[in-house]
Homo-oligomer: A and B are copies of this chain.
Amino acid sequence: MTQKPLILVANDDGISAPGLRALIKVLNEFGKVVVVAPDGPQSGMGHAITLNSALRCDKVHIDDGPQEEYSCSGTPVDCVKLAVNKILKRKPDLCISGINHGSNSSINVIYSGTMSAALEGAIEGIPSIGFSLLDYAHDADFSVSQEVVRKLVSHVLKEGLPEGSCLNVNIPKLPSKDIKGIRVCRQANANWIEEFDERKDPTGRTYYWLTGTFQNYDNGEDTDEWALANGYVSVVPVQYDVTAHHVIPLLKNWLL
């Protein structure tokens, strides 16, 4: 690569999130960084796109550094689409999303705006990675995550990624010395048991807050949940072909 790498950066915690700031600092070491991120929190937005309203996107200055930044009124996936079609002069060499405040392991990949931004990058044919730290705190320590970003980004810039897939990287909340390494995993079979917190507003009308309890049904040592519980950084390759290929023969038989 003779040209300086062009790196598109997005997230779902919003453009001023500390996890994004920590990510930008590392990526500035690797190339020209262009950030297109939501103007506010968009956690849990999954692969949503904005069809029923118009989008705003403004150039902003959040902190010092060579990066170029845009704040967008849409979802994480809107940010990636807008960047590729309207903001960037050429297809980026990388699309990096995060660093998310909180886990996107196992079933969370489906709900995560951070991972959907990375997956949208893959759909657009860009080598893409989503990074998440298992710490929801606003003032979480991203220094270990920055080491992980440095290592994986330098790999992917050199080697690329297989077409049709991106990486879901989760980092345990541990000091550097306690991290045992990086483990390639599959997504654990897990879900959330929802628990709606039911309340009454001042007029007596009911409303609900969505909460839930995480349930892991899968003790496989090849899963991301096992890796994270045992001190490893988990790397799961994620694809946008969601066909359950193994079910096709059964259905064919069944519909005869």
Contacts and interface: CB of A to CB of B under 8 A. Distances in A.
Interface string A82-117: 101110000000000000000000010111000010
Question: Helix, strand, loop or mixed for chain A's interface?
Answer: mixed
Contact of A55 (B107, B209, B237): B209
A186 interface: yes
Given A247-B165, A248-B184, A209 B49 contact: no
A243 B45 contact: no
Nearest to A224: B243
Contacts of A210: 49-51, 55, 74, 78, 81
Stoichiometry (number of copies): 2
Contacts of A252: 184
A61 interface: no
Given A208-B54, A251-B235, A85 B196 contact: yes
Interface string A201-238: 00001111110000000000000000000000001111
